[in-house]
Amino acid sequence: QYTQNLLYAVSRTGVTGVKGFSVDLEEYLQKIRKNTDGKIALGFGIQSAEQIHFLRGKTEVAVIGSHILKIFEREGVDAVRKFLRTIKK
């Protein structure tokens, strides 16, 4: 279902793993939405439940890559599970 017509968008310029979204993220997502029929996956800088909640209704997928890897490297798989439970609420 998500493999067709999925557009990966970045939440800001710069490198992955750094906190925060671009200031004009909502406007950027609105432009993408107006120009595609596909689903939007947003990545880069996503690392908190607050960010996930902000994205609800704006994107279909939130990609949390670097942050999960950092948690795993520091604290292991149980910490990753705990983090994922916090964001699915």
* 57-84: pLDDT as tens digits: 999 999 999 899 999 999 999 999 999 9
Tell me how many degrees the CA angle 20-10-74 measures, rounded to the nearest 5: 55
- Report residue 9 as tokens: 């968008």
**Whole-Å CA distances, 35 to 6, 20, 27, 31, 38:** 13, 25, 13, 6, 9
Position 17 confidence tier, pLDDT thresholds 50, 70, 90: very low
Whether the pLDDT of residue 4 is over 60: the answer is: yes
Q: Can you say how many angstroms the Cα of residue 36 is from the centroid of all Cα atoms in its chain?
A: 19
- Report residue 78 as tokens: 């149980």
Q: What is residue 77's predicted lDDT score, i.e. its pLDDT?
A: 97
Whether the pLDDT of residue 19 is over 60: the answer is: no
Q: Give the predicted TM-score (pTM) of the model.
A: 0.74
